[in-house]
C-alpha cells in the first residue's frame, strides 16, 4: 500500500517540477520577446531618426547651395572670357569674387556639419564667454557684398563691450541664417540687427522692411517654434531656413518669436542669452566642437 502512494507522490512532484520548469521557461521566453521588441523599437526609432536627418540635410544643401554654385558657374564663365580678351583687371576682380564665394560655401558646409551634430539627443555644445561685437563684425564682413547686391543696408545697433556666454558657432549660424533670410526677401531696404537689454534679459532682434510673409507661412513657423524637439520632421511647404534656425535655437535653449506682415517686413526676436564676464572662459561641457578646425 505504501509503494503506490510513493509512486503517486513522485508523479505529483515530477508534474509540479515540470510545471515550474515550463512556467520558468515561458517567462524566459516572454522576457526575451520583450527584449527583442525593445531592440526592434530602438532600431526603428534610430532608422527613422537617420532617415529624417538625411532628408533635412539633403533639403538644406539643395536650399542653400543652388544659388552660390550657380553664381560660381556664371562668374567662372565671365573670368574665362576676360582672360581670353586679356582683360587682366577684370580677371583679378573676378577671381576675388570666386574666392569670396568659395569661402562662403566652405562656411556653409561647416555649418551643416555643426547642425547635423546638434541633432543628436545627447549633444551638449561647448560654451564660453566671447565678444558679441567681434561676432557681429564677422557677420558684417560676410554680408557686405550680398546686401549691396540687393541694394540693401545692414544696420547694427549694439552697445560696446558686450560679452555673451553660449556656443559661438551655433549663435553665429542662427544670426547668419536670419540676416540671410532678411536680405533675400528685401530689395532696396534695410536689415537691422539690434541688441536690447530688457528686464527679462538681453534680446537680439533681426528686422527687415522687405516682402514679409503670408499669414499661413507665419503660422507654420510659429507652430514649429512652439514645439521644439530634436529631429522634428521637415514642415512641408514652409520656409526651410526657419526650421533649421529653430533647431539651432532649441539646442542653445533660446526662445524665439516671429512677427511678419505681407509687404511690410519681418521681425525675429531671440531671448534667453546669458551675459558673462569676458575674463571667465571655462567650457560648459567637455565636448569641443571642431568645425572651425582646418578641413
Domain with residue 156: its CATH number is: 3.30.565.10
Residue-level pLDDT, tens digit, the chain, 295 residues: 566 767 767 777 787 787 888 888 888 888 888 888 888 887 776 677 667 666 666 766 666 676 677 778 888 888 898 898 988 888 888 888 888 778 778 777 777 777 777 766 667 778 889 999 999 999 998 888 889 888 999 999 998 889 999 999 889 989 988 998 899 899 999 999 999 998 888 999 999 999 999 888 888 888 878 776 655 555 554 556 677 788 888 888 899 999 999 989 999 999 999 987 655 544 443 333 333 333 3
In a domain, 2, yes or no: yes
Same domain? For 176 and 102 the reply is: no
Report how far apart, in Å, the C-alpha atoms of 190 and of each of 146, 218, 265 are. Answer: 13, 21, 10
Helix (H, G, I), strand (E, B) or coil at 276: coil
Same domain? For 111 and 133 the reply is: no
In a domain, 267, yes or no: yes
In a domain, 59, yes or no: yes
The domain boundary, picked from 80, 96, 119, lies at: 119
- The answer to whether 178 and 251 are in contact (CB under 8 A) is no
- The answer to whether 126 and 289 are in contact (CB under 8 A) is yes
pLDDT of 293: 33
- The answer to whether 159 and 196 are in contact (CB under 8 A) is no
Report how far apart, in Å, the C-alpha atoms of 162 and of each of 6, 159, 169, 196, 210 are. Answer: 92, 7, 17, 11, 29
**What is the rounded CA–CA span in Å between residue 180 and residue 76?**
24
Same domain? For 246 and 138 the reply is: yes
What are the strands of the beta sheet with 190-198, ordered from one edge?
Answer: 153-157, 190-198, 201-208, 265-271, 255-261
Same domain? For 145 and 65 the reply is: no
In a domain, 70, yes or no: yes
Same domain? For 62 and 82 the reply is: yes
pLDDT of 287: 35
In a domain, 235, yes or no: yes
User: From the CB of residue 129, how many other CB atoms can be counted at a distance below 10 Å?
Assistant: 18
The domain boundary, picked from 119, 137, 164, lies at: 119
Same domain? For 170 and 64 the reply is: no
- The answer to whether 275 and 162 are in contact (CB under 8 A) is yes
Same domain? For 216 and 242 the reply is: yes
Identify which of 271, 293, 211, 243 has the alpha carbon closest to the alpha carbon of residue 57: 243
In a domain, 49, yes or no: yes
Q: Sign (positive/negative) of CA torsion 24, 26, 27, 28?
A: positive
Same domain? For 93 and 179 the reply is: no
What residues make up the domain containing 115? 1-119
Same domain? For 137 and 259 the reply is: yes
The domain boundary, picked from 119, 152, 179, lies at: 119
pLDDT of 288: 33
In a domain, 278, yes or no: no
Same domain? For 252 and 136 the reply is: yes
pLDDT of 53: 62
Strand ranges inside 64-187, DSSP E: 128-131, 153-157, 163-166
Same domain? For 60 and 39 the reply is: yes
- For the chain, what is the domain count? 2
Q: At what angle do helices 2-84 and 88-118 cross, to 10 degrees?
A: 170
In a domain, 285, yes or no: no
CA-based angle 62:68:70, to the nearest 5? 85
Helix (H, G, I), strand (E, B) or coil at 76: helix
DSSP 130: E
pLDDT of 282: 46
Q: What are the φ and ψ backbone dihedral angles of 195, each rounded to 5 degrees?
A: -105, 120
pLDDT of 196: 93
Same domain? For 35 and 142 the reply is: no
pTM (2 d.p.): 0.66
- The answer to whether 163 and 132 are in contact (CB under 8 A) is yes
**What is the rounded CA–CA span in Å between residue 183 and residue 206?**
11
Amino acid at each position: 500500500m505504501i509503494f503506490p502512494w510513493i509512486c503517486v507522490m513522485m508523479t505529483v512532484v515530477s508534474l509540479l517540477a515540470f510545471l515550474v520548469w515550463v512556467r520558468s521557461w515561458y517567462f524566459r521566453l516572454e522576457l526575451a520577446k520583450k527584449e527583442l521588441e525593445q531592440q526592434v523599437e530602438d532600431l526603428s526609432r534610430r532608422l527613422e531618426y537617420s532617415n529624417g536627418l538625411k532628408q533635412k540635410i539633403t533639403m538644406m544643401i539643395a536650399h542653400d547651395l543652388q544659388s552660390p554654385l550657380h553664381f560660381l558657374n556664371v562668374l567662372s564663365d565671365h573670368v574665362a572670357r576676360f582672360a581670353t580678351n586679356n582683360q587682366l583687371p577684370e580677371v583679378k576682380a573676378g577671381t576675388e569674387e570666386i574666392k569670396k564665394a568659395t569661402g562662403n560655401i566652405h562656411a556653409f558646409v561647416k555649418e551643416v556639419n555643426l547642425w547635423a551634430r546638434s541633432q543628436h539627443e545627447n549633444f551638449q555644445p561647448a560654451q564660453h564667454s566671447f565678444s558679441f561685437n567681434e561676432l557681429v563684425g564677422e557677420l558684417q564682413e560676410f554680408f557686405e557684398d550680398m546686401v549691396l547686391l540687393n541694394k540693401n543696408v545692414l544696420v547694427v545697433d549694439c552697445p560696446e563691450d558686450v560679452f555673451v556666454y553660449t556656443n559661438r558657432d551655433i549663435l553665429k549660424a542662427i544670426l547668419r541664417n536670419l540676416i540671410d533670410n532678411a536680405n533675400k526677401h528685401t530689395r532696396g531696404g534695410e536689415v537691422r540687427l539690434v541688441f536690447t537689454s530688457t528686464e527679462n534679459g538681453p534680446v537680439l532682434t533681426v528686422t527687415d522692411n522687405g516682402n514679409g510673409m503670408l499669414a499661413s507661412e507665419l503660422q507654420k513657423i510659429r507652430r514649429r517654434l512652439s514645439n521644439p524637439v530634436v529631429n522634428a520632421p521637415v514642415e512641408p511647404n514652409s520656409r526651410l531656413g526657419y526650421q533649421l534656425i529653430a533647431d539651432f535655437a532649441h539646442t542653445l535653449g533660446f526662445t524665439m518669436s516671429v512677427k511678419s506682415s505681407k509687404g511690410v517686413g519681418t521681425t525675429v526676436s531671440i531671448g534667453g542669452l546669458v551675459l558673462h564676464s569676458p575674463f571667465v572662459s571655462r567650457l560648459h561641457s567637455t565636448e569641443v566642437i571642431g568645425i572651425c578646425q582646418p578641413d
